[in-house]
Amino acid sequence: MKTAAAVLAAALALAAPAFSQTADWRTPDPENVWVIDTNQGRVIAELAPGVAPAHIERIRTLTRQGFYDGLTFFRVVDGFMDQTGDPQNNGRGGSTLPDLEPEFTFRRGPGGFARAASMAADDEVRSPTEVGYIGVLPVRSSPEMQMMVTADGKAPAWGLFCAGVLGMARAQAPNSANSQFFLMRDTRHDLDLQYTPFGRVISGQDVVRRIKVGEPVAEPQDRMTRVRLLADVPAAERPKVQVMDTAGPAFRALVEAAKARTGGAFDVCDVEIPAKVG
């Protein structure tokens, strides 16, 4: 029997040559790529409009207004998250736009979901579910077979707060999200179904973890120097971005290697999604 290390090595050997094959890579829509330049470096994230359409529309609107430029990371918890997006830089402010209704869950159809594993019923969800990925976002969902008996042909699903996931900050009320958001430094499943996830970092997670820590952060606070959608970056300076397709064979090999390495403790958060930025 192969050891987990041997399985991982075999999977990486399989995936490595596939990196150059177009079938295993995709180019994300530049309208859904968020480029966050900070004083610590650049973070690039892919947004998930199919999961949180209202929140993505808000992010695009505020980004194109230049709202986020210069705002600081005012609350940063090591092993947890970096919070920003407040014009007051203290957690008490927001934009002049109305607050958002929560998008903790969404309805998914039969396509676009790369299944990674099945999960038994647990204390949080009292029926079997599946875990996988929609684009780069890790997702938990009712089984696809449930779609056969629903009026809209879809099933409930929700994004998971793995390292690198972007979430919308809010006050105590579920419908109080506005402009503030956070970037996950590490995995925290206690946030699942409590906050709206709307994307995931594909490049610059090391930058996320370099942001100065504090509750609140002492001066000088790290800041976002400029925030743009990739579509709005001038062609001459626009980075080329590719992400490994989570539905492709190379990524499936990485998932299987992670499952072999972790055994029954597998979590979709265990798998990093490779990206190329140049």
Q: Residue 176 phi/psi, 5° resolution? A: -110, 10
Output the pTM of the full model. Answer: 0.90
In the predicted model, what is the mean pLDDT of the chain? 91
pLDDT, residue 14, reads 45
Percent of the chain with pLDDT over 90: 82
Q: Got the DSSP string for the chain?
A: ---HHHHHHHHHHHHHHHTTSGGGEE---GGGEEEEEETTEEEEEEE-TTT-HHHHHHHHHHHHTTTTTT-B--EEETTTEEEE--TTSSSS---SSPPBPP-S-EEE-SSS-EEEEEE---SS-SS-EEEEEETTEEEEE--GGGGGGSTTS-EEEEE---TTEEEE---SSTT-BSS-EEEESS--GGGTTTSEEEEEEEE-HHHHHHSPPBTTPPSSPPBEEEEEEGGGS-GGGPPPEEEE-TTSHHHHHHHHHHHHHHGGG--GGG----EEE-
Q: How far apart are CA 183 and CA 167, in angstroms?
A: 7
Residue 99 has pLDDT above 90, yes or no: yes
Q: Which of 9-13, 108-112, 253-257 has the lowest mean pLDDT?
A: 9-13
pLDDT in tens, 125-174: 667 899 999 999 999 999 888 888 899 999 999 999 999 999 999 999 99
Contacts 24+ apart (CB under 8 A), 59-64: 59/34, 59/181, 59/198, 60/31, 60/229, 61/97, 62/95, 62/97, 62/179, 63/34, 63/227, 63/228, 63/229, 64/229, 64/232
pLDDT band at 265 (very low <50, low <70, confident <90, very high): confident
pLDDT tens digit string along 36-49? 999 999 999 999 99
**pLDDT at residue 1 greater than cutoff 50:** no
pLDDT score, position 126: 61
Q: Residue 103: pLDDT above 50?
A: yes
Question: CATH for 4-277?
Answer: 2.40.100.10
Is pLDDT at 81 greater than 80 in this prediction? Answer: yes
